[in-house]
Amino acid sequence: MTSVVIIEDHALVREGLRLILQDEPGIRIAGEAAGVADAFALVERTEPDVALVDLTLGGADGIPLLRGLGVRYPGTRTVAVTMHDDGETVRQAFLAGAAGYVVKGAASGELIAAIRAVARGERYVHSAVAGAVLDDSLRWLRYGHVLSPREREVLRLIAGGRTAIEASRLLGISAHTVRRHLSNLATKLGVRGRVALVRYAIDHQLLGNAD
């Protein structure tokens, strides 16, 4: 019997998930939580096999919750159940320790398949985001280790809080050239925006010494 907890702040969504799972053979609902603090207490108390985790809990980011559950309760595997289907959110969820990812609106069979897969120690990616995961993997294989020394320098400075103008002065190049390097980095790594770019670089350990 696979024990499951539901961590979701919307009562109607919790009810829907409960209705899907309550009569499913081999699955037992161990409890529900609507917020981060309650989620930790619930998992502590019930020690479930699988936790279904919404990535937006009352406005709070669910990614740190995934990470925290993985560190504190490694025996519980997590499945992100969310409306977000963009590549960056998928990437962050798996890096935070999620074993599965299902987009809200998926057929009930996909949710059940995800629970059964992660309970067996496997990973599960909903078909709606499988393409984003594949694209990210291919992009990393193509470009993750072929950043130029200058691109790495620019990336380190931006990650350190420098503006494009400050980076240009430190590197002895124009701000326009710095911005061009940032544009190239965004294209290579498949992320847009300074925060997403820096987070990707940290997650993939791209801030080491230039080659």
Number of domains in the chain: 2
Distance CA 172, CA 208 (A): 21
pTM, whole model, 2 decimals? 0.68
Question: Is the same domain home to 99 and 184?
Answer: no
From 126, 158, 193, give the residue that closes a domain.
126
Q: Is residue 3 pLDDT above 60, yes or no?
A: yes
Report CA torsion sign: 41, 47, 48, 54.
positive
CATH code of 184's domain: 1.10.10.10
Question: Is the same domain home to 149 and 120?
Answer: no
CATH code of 6's domain: 3.40.50.2300
Within 10 angstroms of residue 61's Cβ, the number of other Cβ atoms is: 13
Q: Is residue 181 pLDDT above 70, yes or no?
A: yes
pLDDT of residue 89: 81
Domain containing residue 156? 144-203
Question: CA angle at residue 3 from 16 to 132, to 5 degrees?
Answer: 65
